[in-house]
Amino acid sequence: MRKLAPFIMVLCLLTLALPAWADSISPLDIGFSRITDNSSEGDQVDLNLNASQVDDNTVQLTFSNLSGIESVVSEIYFQDLNGLVARYEILNDQNTGTVEFNEGATPGSLPGGQDIAFSTSYAMSADAPSPKYGINPNETLTIYVDLSEGVTVATLLSALQGGSVLVGAHVQSIAGDASESYVSGGGGGGAAAPEPGTMALMGSGLLAGWLVRRKRGRKGAKDQSL
């Protein structure tokens, strides 16, 4: 066992020194559920949020309107009670369609959000007029979020998937005139993958265990031959 100790120590040091890999976290897709009841056609609105890693401190969020009926996402709200996100940047040059969003929203809180205790931490809205610059069917909005100190990409993705970070969307002009509110949750898939350091540590532990068992097996075979 003493001969294995230096080897195990080297593996642990290599694990700590591993850089964060940009492709180490699998992208995550999250659907939305309706929280208001203003239109009989509100359930036909289909929204998606894709979260993917840019680097070890940045996540790209892409909002898509996949609806088969007339609808436009005019405001987006975030509930980030633990402050996982330090700042965000709206990348209007990467949007699909005529989508243009800016910081802040009116109303300042998600309509209907009080019924589910949704507390808005920050929000963004489409330029006026929202039917032109909001997220219409087959259009997307892209933003970058920078993580707070000590927060990992896997932590944010798990929070989005688990619901400790919520995203709300206010959708207008549903089938022409109705509006509804939606909150992230349900649908989608793709769990946050372990980060490289975790995977390497697991691998080193398995390797060390295998080496110990192999050494014991050889020792046992030697004792039996005596």
Count, residues in the chain: 226
Range of weakest confidence among 8-17, 124-133, 210-219:
8-17
In this prediction, residue 20 carries a pLDDT of 43
In this prediction, residue 138 carries a pLDDT of 98
Q: What mean pLDDT is predicted for residues 155-170?
A: 97
Pairing of strands 122-126, 28-34: unpaired
HEC profile of 9-30: HHHHHHHHHCCCCCCCCCCEEE
Q: Is residue 222 part of a domain?
A: no
Q: Is residue 221 part of a domain?
A: no
Q: CA–CA separation, 61 vs 96, rounded Å? A: 13
- The continuous run of DSSP H or E covering 69 comes out as none
Residue 31, token pair as written in the block: 């659907």
Q: Is residue 158 part of a domain?
A: yes
Q: What is the largest CA-CA distance in the chain?
A: 90
- The continuous run of DSSP H or E covering 136 comes out as none
In this prediction, residue 206 carries a pLDDT of 47
CATH number (domain holding residue 43): 2.60.40
Tens of pLDDT, residues 28-65: 999 999 999 999 999 999 999 999 999 999 999 999 99
Q: Is residue 127 part of a domain?
A: yes
DSSP-derived 3-state class of residue 80: coil
Q: What is the mean pLDDT of the chain?
A: 83
In this prediction, residue 25 carries a pLDDT of 85
Q: How many domains does the chain have?
A: 1
Q: Which residues of 161-188 are buried (b: 16+ CB within 10 A; e: fewer)?
A: beeebbbbbbbbbbeeebbbbbbbbeeb
Q: Is residue 16 part of a domain?
A: no
Q: Which 8-state DSSP code applies to residue 178?
A: E
Tens of pLDDT, residues 96-141: 999 999 999 999 999 999 999 999 999 999 999 999 999 999 999 9
Q: What is the dihedral of CA 157, 160, 161, 162, to 10 degrees?
A: 120
Residue 113, token pair as written in the block: 């959000």
Domain limits for position 151: 21-187
Q: Is residue 194 part of a domain?
A: no
Q: CA–CA separation, 53 vs 218, rounded Å? A: 46
Q: Is residue 214 part of a domain?
A: no
Q: Is residue 11 part of a domain?
A: no
Q: What are phi and psi of 178, to 5 degrees?
A: -85, 160
Helix, strand, coil content of the chain in percent (nearest 5): 30, 30, 40
Counting DSSP H helices and E strands in the chain, the numbers are 4, 10
Q: What mean pLDDT is predicted for residues 193-203?
A: 45
In this prediction, residue 9 carries a pLDDT of 55
Evaluate if residue 213 carries a pLDDT over 50: yes
